[in-house]
Chains A and B, each alone.
Chain A
Amino acid sequence: MTTATTNGALSFEGIGMVFPDGTEALREVTLSIAKGEFVTIVGPSGCGKSTLLRIASGLLEPTAGSVEVDRDRLGYVFQDATLLPWRTVRQNVELFAELHGFDSGERRSLSTAAIELVGLTGFENHYPKSLSGGMKMRTSLARTLTLKPPLFLFDEPFGAVDEITREHLNEETQRLFQSEGFAGLFITHSIGEAVFMSTKVYVMSARPGRIVAGFDVPFSYPRQPELRFEPDFALLSGEVSLALRGSHS
């Protein structure tokens, strides 16, 4: 069912998911993400977006269809930061490298680089309880960056932070997408976030989740914050919004 791929980073083929209680979460989802693509799926709450990510990562087996992905070094950024509260920022960032058996010297250099990438230098010895929501998310990002994953799965990671922090994190995510060269699958219900970061935006319908529309995002990288106020940006956001509304009725 799952095979390693070389040509594309991730592809879903006719994915269906019916939970044991009879809830149909996903129906006939087919989409693929190639290297160098940053794909966002927008959809209403509870439409099965997160279920799709859990299937991609192997945490959940679909009841129909197949997934093609290399799960060796998958990056998965959760809805909340899921930091271990008894570990400092540095220890949290080093967790994955630790689980993959890197020695302490390697771990240290990997974590130092990742912490610098997300702009948390100076906070290495802080515990999560003294960090803001945005800083926790940055730590979570840094932790995933240490393994240099070719594919990042983002499960609505910036839903809980305030608007301004979210915009900053969006800018940083697309900067990292540029500099680190990973492929991304991003789940959100914020249209602005989707259009700002992605190369492609898909719209998912309410339960059972199906892909009902897809849009190519033509803006070039690196994208500046001012892009959000361009007429083209507003136009595309409007189209996505209309597709999303259409899927609701």
Chain B
Amino acid sequence: MTLQASPESKAGTVTAPEEHISAPADGQFAPELPDDAPKAYRVKSRRREAAEAILPPLVLGMGVIGFWYYVSFIAIDESRRFLMRPLHDVVNVGFLDSANFTEMLSGLWSSTKVALMGLAIAISIGFFLATIMSQAKIVERAVFPFAVTLQAIPILAIVPLIGFWWGYGQTSRVVVCIIISLFPIIMNTLFGLLSADRSMHDLFTLHHSNRVTRLRKLMFPAALPAIFAGLRISAGLSVIGAIVGDFFFGRGEVGIGQLLRRYANNLNGEELLAAVMMSSALGIVVFWTFGWLQNLIIGKWHETVQK
């Protein structure tokens, strides 16, 4: 009797859970929340997120513009208003006057070309130096103090010397860009090349790889994140170098530096402010472009990519 009863009771306990499982499928225990509830919540939170990202700078920007108008119209006397033209005048004269705007755009383009040329040469020199520094400690020791010295020279102090040696044309402008942007490229590339783990080097040692293979397949890819960090800094510096160089060297194409100088000398407050805005816009575009390139090239695999 007892032997028979136990299988029966076991069968009973097996069927009971099955009933429990089938019940929700019938809809009896379905949650009462509407299906679209989480989605709607998500849309709202995303909208809020966007608002939280945009509102603070927007409010601050409006505050700055308000202060600007306050200075233009109330804080300074009308006879000295050329010092701080109101925003709408800057827009009208600087951006909406096609002759002025074209002049600034071509100046900006000229300076952009100089900055890119200088940056390209600085990248070539920087990669070359960092690569040989990574291969021979003695080269690193030899070059390092001079790289630091190069970085320590205030650019304005050697601008006259550069003009003296290379004249007052495009060459000197490019030289300024090279000098100002070289150091971060050397240092970041070197740091990156030396950043690969010892165990990864062991991997290549175990398989008898030569220097070139190790450099190409291990050290250079490992260096890419650091290289991009350096490039973003150097690209910004190169833009500054192009404008500073252009400011001092008057021969050849007229860049944005020459225009800034001319507007300041002629007390053209509107054009001056517009040119400053366009210069900073160039800096932002360059920084953003390299960020985009970084994302494109190493975003797939690198853990922390800056946005």
Q: A59-B202, A85-B302, A86-B222 are in contact. List 9 more A-B contacts (CB 8 A).
A: A78-B199, A82-B199, A84-B200, A84-B222, A86-B221, A86-B298, A99-B204, A100-B207, A129-B302
For A57, the chain B residues whose CB sits under 8 A away are 206
**Given A78-B199, A78-B202, A82-B197, A96 contacting B300 (CB threshold 8 A):** no
Instruction: Output the least CB separation between A180 and chain B (Å).
Output: 19
A74 on interface, CB distance cutoff 8 Å = yes
Contact B206 A74 (CB under 8 A): yes
**Given A99-B207, A99-B209, A100-B207, A85 contacting B301 (CB threshold 8 A):** yes
Chain B 168-220 residues near chain A, CB threshold 8 A = 197, 199-200, 202-209, 213, 217-218
Q: Give Cα A87–Cα B218 distance, bound, in whole angstroms.
A: 11
B303 on interface, CB distance cutoff 8 Å = yes
Contact check: which of A79, A82, A95, A129 meets B303 at CB < 8 Å? A129
Residue on B with the closest CB to A143?
A: B203
Chain A 125-161 residues near chain B, CB threshold 8 A = 127-129
Contact B206 A59 (CB under 8 A): yes
Can you report 11 A-B residue pairs in the complex whose CB atoms are below 8 A from each other? Answer: A76-B202, A78-B203, A82-B200, A84-B217, A84-B218, A85-B301, A95-B217, A96-B207, A99-B209, A100-B207, A127-B301
B224 on interface, CB distance cutoff 8 Å = yes
For A74, the chain B residues whose CB sits under 8 A away are 206
For B199, the chain A residues whose CB sits under 8 A away are 78-80, 82
Q: Give Cα A76–Cα B202 distance, bound, in whole angstroms.
A: 10
Contact A84 B221 (CB under 8 A): yes
Residue on A with the closest CB to B200?
A: A82
Chain A 63-110 residues near chain B, CB threshold 8 A = 74, 76, 78-80, 82, 84-87, 95-96, 98-100
Q: Give Cα A74–Cα B202 distance, bound, in whole angstroms.
A: 13
Contact A128 B213 (CB under 8 A): no
SS class, residues of chain B in contact with chain A: helix
**Given A99-B209, A99-B213, A82 contacting B203 (CB threshold 8 A):** yes
**Given A57-B206, A74-B206, A99-B209, A86 contacting B197 (CB threshold 8 A):** no
Q: Give Cα A127–Cα B202 distance, bound, in whole angstroms.
A: 21
For A84, the chain B residues whose CB sits under 8 A away are 200, 217-218, 221-222
For B202, the chain A residues whose CB sits under 8 A away are 59, 76, 78, 82
Q: Give Cα A127–Cα B301 distance, bound, in whole angstroms.
A: 6
The bracket for how many chain B residues form the interface is: 20 to 34
Q: Give Cα A79–Cα B206 distance, bound, in whole angstroms.
A: 15
Residue on A with the closest CB to B224?
A: A86
For B204, the chain A residues whose CB sits under 8 A away are 99
Residue on A with the closest CB to B214?
A: A99
Q: Give Cα A98–Cα B197 distance, bound, in whole angstroms.
A: 20
Instruction: Output the least CB separation between A196 and chain B (Å).
Output: 26
Instruction: Output the least CB separation between B272 and chain A (Å).
Output: 47
Residue on A with the closest CB to B205?
A: A59
For A86, the chain B residues whose CB sits under 8 A away are 221-222, 224, 298, 301-302
Instruction: Output the least CB separation between A246 and chain B (Å).
Output: 32
Q: Give Cα A127–Cα B302 distance, bound, in whole angstroms.
A: 9
For B222, the chain A residues whose CB sits under 8 A away are 84, 86
Residue on B with the closest CB to A98?
A: B217
Instruction: Output the least CB separation between A79 and chain B (Å).
Output: 7
Residue on B with the closest CB to A99?
A: B207
Q: Give Cα A99–Cα B204 distance, bound, in whole angstroms.
A: 8
For A96, the chain B residues whose CB sits under 8 A away are 207
Q: Which 6 A-B pairs have the closest CB atoms?
A: A99-B207, A127-B301, A86-B221, A82-B199, A86-B301, A78-B199
Q: Give Cα A121–Cα B303 distance, bound, in whole angstroms.
A: 24
For A78, the chain B residues whose CB sits under 8 A away are 199, 202-203
Instruction: Output the least CB separation between A97 and chain B (Å).
Output: 10
Chain B 203-249 residues near chain A, CB threshold 8 A = 203-209, 213, 217-218, 221-222, 224
Q: Give Cα A58–Cα B207 distance, bound, in whole angstroms.
A: 11
Q: Give Cα A58–Cα B208 distance, bound, in whole angstroms.
A: 11
Chain A 163-219 residues near chain B, CB threshold 8 A = none
Q: Give Cα A81–Cα B205 distance, bound, in whole angstroms.
A: 16
Contact A128 B206 (CB under 8 A): no
| From A59, A86, A98, A129, residue with most partner B Cβ within 10 Å | A86
Instruction: Output the least CB separation between A166 and chain B (Å).
Output: 20
